[in-house]
Amino acid sequence: MKTLSYKGYEGTIEVDMEEDICRGKLLFINDLVTYEAKTPKGLKQAFEEAVDDYFETCTELGREPQKPFRGSFNVRVAPDIHRAAALRAVRDGVRLNEVVVRALDCYLNVRGDVQHNVTVKVEGTARTLVAAATSKPSWSRISTSHATH
C-alpha cells in the first residue's frame, strides 16, 4: 500500500470508484484524523492540511499530539521462540532487544542479490549449493568435490 508522509506522520491513500472520491486517514495514532479530495493531488494537500489541523486542534485542547512512533513496541511470539531467543541472546552476550533490532534490520534491508552457500555431505561427497535470495529461491549445484576423511 502506498502512503503519504508529512511532518513525521503517515496517511493512507484510498480511492472510492463508486463515490468518485479519494480519502485517507492518519496511521499509527489512536486519534481518528481523516481527509478527502476529488483528485490524488488534492488528497496530498488535504492530508497535509489534516496533519496541520491535528496540531492546531491538540494545541487548542491543551494536549500533545500523539507521536506515530515512540521507538518501542510489544512483540508477541510463542513461548518456545521467546525462550530460544532469550537463551541465544545470553549466549551471544547481547540483550533480547538487540536480537529484535538485528532481525528487523535484516527484514528491512534484505537485498535480492544475497547468496547463501551451503555445503551438504551426501554419502562421502561434498556438494556446494547456492541459493539466490529471490522471490522464488532457485537452487543450483556450483561445484562438487569428494570429501576427505
- Cell digits for 35? 481527509
Q: Is the pLDDT of residue 146 over 60?
A: no
For 16-38, the pLDDT digits (tens) are 999 999 999 999 999 999 999 99
Beta-carbon neighbour count of residue 69 at 10 Å? 10
Torsion of CA 60, 62, 66, 67, to 10 degrees: 100
Pairwise CA distance, residues 112 & 88, whole Å: 27
Q: In the structure, what pLDDT confidence band is assigned to residue 1 with cuts at 50, 70 and 90?
A: confident
Q: In the structure, what pLDDT confidence band is assigned to residue 120 with cuts at 50, 70 and 90?
A: low
What is the amino acid identity at position 101? V
For 39-83, the pLDDT digits (tens) are 999 999 999 999 999 999 999 999 999 999 988 889 999 999 999
What is the amino acid identity at position 57? T
Beta pairing, strands 14-16 & 9-12: unpaired
Pairwise CA distance, residues 3 & 18, whole Å: 21
DSSP string, 2-54: -EEEETTEEEE-EEETTTTEEEEEB-SSSS--EEEESSHHHHHHHHHHHHHHH
Q: What percent of the chain is predicted at pLDDT more than 90?
A: 66
Q: Is the pLDDT of residue 113 over 90?
A: no
What is the predicted pLDDT for the residue at 118? 65
What is the predicted pLDDT for the residue at 88? 92
* pTM value > 0.85: no
What is the predicted pLDDT for the residue at 111? 63
Q: Which residues contact 47 (CB under 8 A, 6 or more apart)?
A: 4, 6, 11, 24, 35
